[in-house]
Structure 1
Amino acid sequence: MELNFKQIFTAFMVLFAVIDIIGNIPIIIDLRKKVGHIQSEKASIIAGVIMIAFLFLGKSMLSLIGIDVNSFAVAGSFVLFFIALEMILGITLYKDNGDDAITASVFPLAFPLIAGPGSLTTLLSLRAEFRTENIIVAVIINVIFIYIVLKTSAKIERAIGKNGINIIRKVFGVILLAISVKLFAANIKVLFI
């Protein structure tokens, strides 16, 4: 096992930018309003497990069912697109079948918001460049950050206020929409080549 701090830091920063947990604060607050409570530990651990499992099994799992990484990313871009529309337009497209906090902690929070197509596709591309153990450490550090943000989202909401949250929600909705369009555009081209 050979830990390289430069690789860990680079992988951490790339994943941190893609996961964008700070940008997801408005979605987290919104989810908490819908379901009452979010299980921060469960969401963080599940997201971490999904990412690490995908790091090892992702490519073979997708090819086993005949899906390439690009098709996976395009499908994920649609999910991000609809979440962004909810944020920008203030409408509800995602309806939980019973407003269950456990369900919300897993879907859409742990997957696809945290361990989504963006972060999973990023993991596959990082694996081509970096050693696996360095990527795992970077994932674990990200999971710790995610847990802290999920745990303190109520305090963050109180500090920013209702209007501040609404403004941030719309701004990050547009950013998320742009990310989904970029993810779609980058991967749809490859599918038609």
Structure 2
Amino acid sequence: MTLNIDELLTVSFTLFAVIDILGSIPLLISLKTKMGEIREFRATLISGALMILFLLVGERFLGILGVDVGSFAVGGSIVIFILGLEMVLGIEFFKSEGDPKSGTLVPIAFPLIAGSGTLTTIISLQANYPVWTVALGIVLNLVVVYIVLRSLNYIERLIGAAGLIAIRKFFGVILLAIAVKIFATNASGLIK
């Protein structure tokens, strides 16, 4: 069990792009204003538990549904591609239906941080990388998520609106490329 830094960086940056915590800062600031506060540690812990749970039992759950990981990875790559398009084009394909008053669990921990895109990405990554590499990538992202949640006001002042848009578009392009790679890696095994 040797640590492959390149794989860890790929997994971490993929999750970072999908979670898009920096792109979510304007929404998080709005939610913080409406709710009065965000329980940063609780939101990080709940979203992390959802991600790790899906990493550990997501494949078995898919087996119960009769779907193999390769098929799910191809489907997931399409979702990741659409998320990348959202980020680059600024068009919202996936609508969030969370009530801002419901607290830290919904919509912050789920679906904002550990949403369907993130969970799909975790299974897609698991098809290409060792489980422990994905788990470590999740933990590294949770550290970033917690820091961002704790620093919302400071980050908003530091980066500004134009900076946030630029960061979101940059990670959108990276996400598109990663989606194409995941699709190409898994699609050939599905055609018989």
1:91-170 matches, within 5 Å, as 91-97=91-97, 99-100=99-100, 102-105=105-108, 106-113=110-117, 115-123=118-126, 125-127=129-131, 139-170=138-169
Q: Which residues of structure 2 form unaligned runs of 5+? A: 33-37
Aligned residue in 2 for 1:83 = 83
CA distance in 2, matches of 1:163, 1:136: 33
Aligned residue in 1 for 2:46 = 46
Q: Could you tell me how far 1:67 is from its partner in structure 2? A: 0.8
Within the candidate set 31, 36, 40, 1:36 is matched to 31
State whether residues 15 and 137 of structure 2, in contact with CA within 8 Å, keep that contact through their aligned partners in structure 1: no
Q: Could you tell me how far 1:160 is from its partner in structure 2? A: 1.4
Q: Could you tell me how far 1:192 is from its partner in structure 2? A: 1.3
State whether residues 23 and 164 of structure 2, in contact with CA within 8 Å, keep that contact through their aligned partners in structure 1: no
Q: Could you tell me how far 1:180 is from its partner in structure 2? A: 2.1
Aligned residue in 2 for 1:186 = 185
* Amino acid in structure 1 at the alignment position of 2:20: N
> How many residues align structurally?
182
Q: Could you tell me how far 1:159 is from its partner in structure 2? A: 0.8
State whether residues 84 and 174 of structure 1, in contact with CA within 8 Å, keep that contact through their aligned partners in structure 2: yes
List 4+ stretches of structure 1 deviating above 6 A: 8-11
Residues 169 and 47 (structure 1), Cα distance of their counterparts in 2 relative to 1, 3 Å cut = same
Question: Given the two structures, how large is their TM-score scaled by the length of structure 1?
Answer: 0.72
Question: Given the two structures, how large is their TM-score scaled by the length of structure 2?
Answer: 0.72
Among all aligned residue pairs of Structure 1 and Structure 2, give the percentage whose two residues are the same amino acid. 34
CA distance in 2, matches of 1:49, 1:8: 24
Aligned residue in 2 for 1:27 = 23
